[in-house]
């Protein structure tokens, strides 16, 4: 799809902006192989803000391949020279969404679990987009000489994970598959860097983690994977935004989708160039980047489809059933749709 005709973030007339966004969403949905119509409202004649966007602050993690490529390529800065583009790195999704909820970001990417915890805590944010699932990009690891051979062997063991991360849901499902209860294990809530240190020195028995931390550890010390996400967790990636940003700047979201999908095309068509961009930014060895990209399917960015909402609701229900979030949440209530007023974003 050709770029927007304007080089600024001053929105075009509302109806035109909404028509453009709907066209983009339909095209992106098609690229996902989704045959049905996109469940979006028709363009309205009014309702969008005509004020220019002065700044766009984007939260990302090392695992956010598309965002990292867009950042390193400078595509947004070239496309929107009159807007200050800020890029802020976070170690994991929960920290990113906390920043988003307090107004320090407009847009960011996380895995499946962080938005559930944020919604349950009453944080103001909305889902605006998603990438296809990546079940092979996360795993429950043990050291290569560990006596643990199966998921059932996790009983009574200490397992490192980032609380509220995609690895949290993977571990919930792994424990369930093993026929265990959550209180049969000892979760050790640690950020990825601290978790790896604890894992390598044997202070924990296992580690639930995602790429590129998974790939880096795999190449460094050859751990064993008791399971990946396959058959347990789709490991979905979601783009989230502040509610005011989403409501006022639909055309900016359309532009972001375009550039992020452009980044994914680079990953698919010129893997060497993509690896270099990500490695140069992250400081990761090219072999690590190559491995985690191999586990990542084509990942164009598009609207959240009904099946993905249903899948995400399962994540929310699982956490509530275990008492890991304080109250039930309805994911669909904070899924943004162009030209529709969100229901009150309350759990």
Q: Give residue-wise pLDDT tens across range 86-120.
A: 999 999 999 999 999 999 999 999 999 999 999 99
Do residues 311 and 238 lie in contact, with contact meaning Cβ atoms separated by under 8 Å?
no
The pLDDT value recorded for residue 63 is 87
- In terms of pTM, does the model score above 0.75? yes
| Pick from 144, 132, 91, 147: nearest CA to 114 | 91
For residue 107, CA distances in Å to 97, 252, 304 come to 9, 11, 15
Per CATH, the number for 14-134+236-334 is 3.40.190.10
Domain with CATH 3.40.190.10 in the chain: 14-134+236-334, 142-228
Fold of 142-228: D-Maltodextrin-Binding Protein; domain 2 (3.40.190)
Higher-pLDDT residue of 50, 57: 57
The pLDDT value recorded for residue 303 is 87
pLDDT at 47 over 80: no
pLDDT at 207 over 80: yes
| Pick from 209, 224, 269, 274: nearest CA to 67 | 274
For residue 156, CA distances in Å to 148, 179, 225 come to 11, 13, 18
The secondary element (H helix, E strand) that includes residue 28 is: helix 14-31
């Amino acid at each position: 799809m050709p770029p927007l005709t304007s080089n600024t973030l001053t929105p075009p007339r509302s109806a035109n902006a909404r028509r453009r966004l709907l066209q983009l969403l339909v095209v992106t949905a098609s690229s996902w192989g989704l045959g049905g119509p996109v469940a979006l409202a028709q363009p309205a004649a009014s309702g969008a803000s005509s004020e220019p966007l002065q700044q766009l602050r984007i939260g990302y993690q090392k695992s956010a391949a598309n965002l990292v490529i867009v950042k390193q390529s400078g595509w947004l800065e070239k496309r929107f020279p009159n807007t200050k583009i800020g890029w802020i790195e976070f170690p994991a999704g929960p920290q990113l969404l906390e920043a988003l909820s307090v107004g320090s970001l407009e847009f960011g990417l996380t895995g499946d679990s962080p938005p559930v915890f944020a919604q349950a805590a009453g944080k103001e944010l909305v889902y605006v987009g998603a990438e296809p699932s990546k079940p092979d990009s996360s795993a429950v690891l043990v050291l290569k000489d560990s006596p643990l051979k199966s998921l059932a062997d996790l009983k009574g063991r200490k397992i490192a994970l980032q609380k509220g991360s995609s690895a949290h849901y993977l571990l919930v499902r792994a424990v369930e598959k093993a026929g265990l209860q959550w209180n049969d294990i000892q979760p050790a809530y640690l950020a990825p860097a601290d978790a790896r240190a604890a894992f390598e020195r044997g202070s924990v028995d296992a580690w639930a983690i995602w790429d590129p931390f998974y790939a880096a550890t795999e190449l460094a010390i050859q751990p064993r994977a008791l399971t990946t996400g396959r058959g347990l967790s789709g490991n979905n990636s979601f783009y989230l935004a502040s509610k005011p940003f989403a409501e006022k700047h639909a055309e900016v979201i359309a532009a972001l989708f375009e550039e992020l999908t452009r980044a994914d095309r680079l990953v698919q068509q010129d893997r060497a160039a993509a690896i270099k961009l990500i490695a140069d930014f992250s400081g990761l060895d090219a072999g690590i980047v190559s491995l985690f990209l191999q586990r990542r399917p084509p990942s164009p960015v598009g609207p959240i489809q009904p099946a993905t909402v249903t899948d995400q609701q399962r994540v929310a229900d699982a956490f509530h059933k275990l008492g890991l979030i304080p109250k039930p949440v309805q994911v669909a209530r904070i899924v943004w749709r162009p030209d529709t007023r969100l229901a009150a974003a309350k759990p």
